[in-house]
Amino acid sequence: MKKSFPAKAFSTWMLNWYRNSIRHPKYRWWLITGTLVYLLNPLDLLPDTLPLVGWIDDGLITTVLVAEVAQVMSDRLKNQRSNRSAGISKSDSTVVDVQSISLS
């Protein structure tokens, strides 16, 4: 069994949790909002008052946020394109009651 450093195991767990949570529609906007609040808040894991060191955690979190949002948007566009190419559209699911339409 391969042993890993606790920090690496924690960061891997945290990244996987973030990815899974942002892909869940119920929690997506909460997670994005929370991340933006964390980035704008001067009090965080490494305070922004420390030059360069304080910006490292913000840079990493921003990178993960942008990458995950881009991946979610990419997946959504692929699904829309595949639905269009398969002939599935919202207009196909519209039901029209023919008996209620008058021809005169």
pLDDT, average across residues 62-85: 90
Best mean pLDDT range from 19-28, 52-61, 95-104: 19-28
- More confidently predicted of 15 and 47: 15
pTM for this model (two decimals): 0.66
Contact 31, 21 (CB under 8 A): yes
pLDDT, average across residues 87-91: 59
Residue 32: pLDDT band (50, 70, 90) is very high
Contact 64, 38 (CB under 8 A): no
How many angstroms separate the CA atoms of 86 and 93, rounded?
14
| Residue type present at position 66 | V
